[in-house]
A = this chain, B = another copy of it.
Amino acid sequence: MIRFNNDYNQGVHPEILDAFVKTNTESYGGYGLDEWCEKGAAAIKQYLGGKNADIHFLIGGTQVNYTVITAALRSFQGVISADTGHINNHETGAVENTGHKIHARKGVDGKLTASEIREEAEIYRTSGAKEHITQPKMVFLSFPSEYGTIYSKAELIEIHNVCKEYGLYLFIDGARMGYGLGSSVNDVTLADLAELSDVFYIGGTKCGAMFGEAVVIINDDLKDNFRSYMKQNGAMLAKGWLLGLQFYTLFKDGLYFEITKYADELAMKLKTAFEEKQIPFYIESFTNQQFVILTDNQMNKLSEKYAFEYQGKIDENHHMVRFCTSWSTRKEDVEALVKDISIL
C-alpha cells in the first residue's frame, strides 16, 4: 500500500535523524533551556526580516493552538475562525475546554475573509450590551488552510489591517507552513508573516521533523510568561533540545523550504493528472493536499494500491477524498499514481 493519506506517516528527515544519532551521547539542560533551542531559534530568525520575536518549541499543533489562544485571551474573549478551521473541527473542543468561544464564519475556499472578520468585530463594537456577549479578540487562520488553499499577501495585508483597526490579535496556524511557502502560486514569506501577524507557528511534524512546532511570538503583549502557559498545558518537552536541534537542522540552510517545495511539486503532478482525467476538485489547491471528487469506481480502483483519506460523501455515487504528498513522498510513487489516474 502506497500512502498518500497524510503528511505525517513517516519518521523524520534523514538529516535530522543523523543529528539525533550524532548528539545522542551528549548531555543538555532540560525544558528547552539549551544551546540547540538557541540555535534553532536563531536559524529561524534569519527569515523574520529582523523582527524581535520570541520563539518557543512545542510538540504538536493542537497543543500550540489552545496554548497560544488561552495565553492571549481573557475568559470573556473569543477567537474568530473559519468554520472549517482546525480548532473548530478537529481538536475535540480543545479551545472551548480552555474556556473560549470560537466565532465560526463560513469563509471562502477554507479561508476566512477580511470582511467576515469585520462583520464579527462590528457586532461587538456596535453592541449596546457588550457585557452580555463575548468579545472577539483574536483571529485564527491557517496557512495553508485545511483545504490546501493559501492567502495571498494582499489578502493577509487586508486581514492585518482589519485586525489593527479592531484591536484583534492575528494568529496564524502553520502546521503545513512549508507547503504553503513552497507553493508555485505563493507570494508570502516568513518575514511577511512576522510583519503581518501577532503570533504564528511553523509546523515541523508535517514538514520533515519527527515532531515539533515552532511558535513565533511577535507582539510583545503576548510574550510574557509564555513558558508558564506551556508548562501548565503539558507543552514543555523535558528533553527540549530535541526540538531545537530539529528546527536548527531544518532552518540553518533552508532545508525546510526545499523539502516542502519538493512535495508541492509532486502534488502538482497529481493535480495535473486529475485535471487531464477531468476529475473535479472539491477545492482547487496549489499545495501538497489535493481534494478531488471520485466516483465509487474510481475510488475503489485507486484504493487497491494507494492509501488516501476519505473526507465525505458528495452524493449517491461520488465521494470527496484527499491525496497528500509530503517531504517523504517518493517520486516513483507519484509517477505510479499519475499513471493509474490516467487509466481510470
A132–B92 touching, CB < 8 Å? yes
Does A218 make an interface contact (CB < 8 A)? no
B-side contacts of A236, CB under 8 Å:
60, 62, 131
Give the chain B neighbours of A211 by CB distance below 8 A.
Answer: 237-239, 242
Residue-wise, chain A 111-140 has the 8 Å CB interface mask toward B (1 for contact) of: 000000000000000001111111100000
* Contact-size category for A: 35 or more
Separation of A124 and B284 alpha carbons in the complex (Å): 27
Interface flags, A37-71, vs B, CB<8A=1, else 0: 00000000000000000000001111100110010
Chain B contacts for A92, CB-based, 8 A? 76, 131-134, 228, 231-232
- The answer to whether A234 touches B232, judged by C-beta atoms less than 8 angstroms apart, is no
| Interface contact B60-A229, CB-CB below 8 Å | no
A93 pairs with B205, CB closer than 8 A? no
Q: Which of A17, A231, A232, A310: most chain B CB closer than 10 A?
A: A232
Q: Is A28 an interface residue (CB 8 A)?
A: yes
Tell me, rounded to whole Å, the shortest Cβ–Cβ distance linking A174 to chain B. 15
Residue in A28, A75, A228 whose Cβ sees the most chain B Cβ within 10 Å: A75
Q: Pick from A6-14, A150-158, A179-187, A257-265 the stretch touching chain B.
A: A6-14
> Contacting A90 at CB < 8 Å: which of B60, B67, B132, B239?
B132
Bound CA span A257–B74, Å: 37
B residues in contact with A6, CB < 8 Å: 30
Question: CA of A78 to CA of B21 in the docked complex: distance in angstroms?
Answer: 42
Q: Is the C-beta of A225 less than 8 angstroms from some C-beta in chain B?
A: yes
Given A60-B234, A96-B99, A210-B242, are A128 and B228 also a contact pair (CB < 8 Å)? Answer: no
Question: Cβ of B74 and Cβ of A231 under 8 Å apart?
Answer: no
Nearest CB of chain B from residue A196's CB, rounded to whole Å: 26
Q: Are A96 and B101 in contact (CB under 8 A)?
A: yes
Query: Taking the full assembly, how many copies of this chain does it contain?
Result: 4
Q: Which residues of B contact A28 (CB under 8 A)?
A: 9-10
Q: A29 an interface residue at 8 Å Cβ cutoff?
A: yes
* Cα–Cα, bound, A74→B94 (Å): 13
Quick check: is A278 within 8 A (CB to CB) of the other chain?
no
**A 1-39 contacts with B by CB, 8 A:** 3, 6, 8-12, 14, 17, 20-21, 23-31
B78 touches A93 (CB 8 A): yes
Chain B neighbourhood of A21, CB < 8 A = 17, 21
Q: List 27 A-B contacts (CB under 8 A).
A: A9-B27, A10-B26, A11-B20, A11-B25, A12-B20, A14-B24, A17-B20, A17-B21, A31-B131, A60-B236, A60-B237, A60-B238, A63-B234, A75-B93, A75-B97, A75-B232, A76-B232, A89-B133, A90-B133, A92-B131, A96-B100, A131-B230, A135-B225, A135-B228, A205-B238, A211-B242, A234-B234
